[in-house]
Amino acid sequence: MPAQDYITEIPYISGYYSDLTPARMSFIAAVNNFRPPDIFQSFSYCELGCGCGKTTNIVAASYPQSDCVGIDVNKEHIRIARNESAGLSNIKFFDMSFSEASRQNFKKFDFITMHGVWSWVGDSVRADILRFVKKFLKTGGLFCVSYNAMPGWTQLTPFHKIISTYIKGKTCSTTEKATSAMAYLQFLNENKSPYFERNPDAKVFLQTLEQSDMRYVIHELFNQNLRPEYFCDVAADMKKAGLTFVGNSEHIQNYQMTLSEPFKKLLNSAGDRIASETHKSVIQNDRFRKDVYIKRGSTKERKNAASI
């Protein structure tokens, strides 16, 4: 199946993300008064867009009682992931799109995770993801999603358009396009273009890109889609898959102690959890978020399962 508008010609860098581990997600659920799945018994885990599979392989190795699945449309990523899982019998990797995956017959999962995917795919792929989660997350199961957030991305959003306009019509390789686009951005910055002069976050972001692996730069900025979003808009999409917000994957972010008194008052006067978390995200100028959600099930199911 084609990746439907996501870059496949350049493999992504391999990385481990502790936010995606069952222990971290369970801890975030517990500190927010939700009962997590029991990770001391057997449980099932799935990473969507697992890339080269490092996180899922580490989860499978750390929890021999678990059954783990990694899904990614990029065949090279899955080849690397399978190669690195040598010897582990509790993990399977599938090279398929989310659309194809949502039509399979997987057993339901206690945990589904997704890092570095949501902001970089279009509406139809997002719909496939929500279909998958709705179908395959157990009642009481946890979902972790990361995304580029607003308002922190405000000064950076022009990067995507500036780059796509600059490389339009160029016939060279993706890496050559990326190298020339970076040189163009550096030219604008060094010659004090008002865009960089008036947007200090953009200057700092350019410095970060200069120090980053080019594969990161390409996957961050060269996909057809790049859509940073406010917390409340992502939460509204998650609701379509039957998910309720649990908490921020950064432990400290689940408390109000970093906020001044007027802001604490504002949060406490918000009508509901989504409104108060939206205030918090705006106050803090969030630029990247990693959030945990739960599938709560019907009232009857909740009665049977005490605190979920």
Per CB under 6 A, residues contacting ligand SAM are 3-4, 6, 12, 15, 49-51, 72-74, 77, 97-98, 115-117, 121, 125, 219
CB of 77: closest distance to ligand SAM in angstroms? 5
Of 177 and 219, CB closest to ligand SAM: 219
147: its two tokens: 């995304």
CA 47 to chain centre: 10
For residue 128, the minimal CB distance to ligand SAM (Å) is: 7
Q: What is the dihedral of CA 42, 45, 51, 53, to 10 degrees?
A: 0
Question: CB-wise, 56 or 66, nearer to ligand SAM?
Answer: 56
Which of 36, 53 has the CB closer to ligand SAM? 53
Residue among 239, 220, 246 nearest 117 (CA) = 220
φ, ψ at 93 (rounded to 5°): -110, 140
Q: Which is nearer to ligand SAM, 57 or 74 (CB)?
A: 74
CA of 259: how far to CAs of 53, 204, 297, in Å? 37, 25, 33
With vertex at residue 242, the alpha carbon angle to CA 241 and CA 248, rounded to the nearest 5 degrees, is 90
Q: Which residues, including other chains, have CB under 8 Å from residue 106's CB and lie 6 or more apart?
A: 46, 69, 136
User: Which residues touch 66 (CB under 8 Å, ≥6 apart)?
Assistant: 22, 39, 42, 43, 44, 45, 59, 60, 90
Nearer to ligand SAM, 78 or 308 (CB): 78
The angle formed by the CA atoms of residues 289, 293 and 297, to the nearest 5 degrees, is: 165
Nearer to ligand SAM, 163 or 308 (CB): 163
How near is the Cβ of 99 to ligand SAM at its closest, in Å?
A: 7
The least CB distance from residue 102 to ligand SAM, in Å, is 10
Interhelix angle 174-190/200-210, rounded to 10 degrees, is 140
Q: Which two tokens stand for residue 146?
A: 């990361």
Q: How far is the CB of 12 from ligand SAM (least distance, A)?
A: 4
Rounded distance between C-alpha atoms, residue 48 and residue 98, angstroms: 8
Of 250 and 301, the one with the shorter C-beta distance to ligand SAM is 250
CB of 238 to ligand SAM, least distance (A): 18
Tokens of 212: 């980053």
Closest distance to ligand SAM from the beta carbon of 219 (Å): 4
Q: Which is nearer to ligand SAM, 123 or 301 (CB)?
A: 123
Task: Indicate the residue type of 211.
Answer: Q
Least distance to ligand SAM from the beta carbon of 273, Å?
A: 27
Antiparallel, parallel or unpaired: β 66-72 and 288-295: unpaired
**Which backbone phi and psi does 256 adopt, to 5 degrees?**
-100, 5
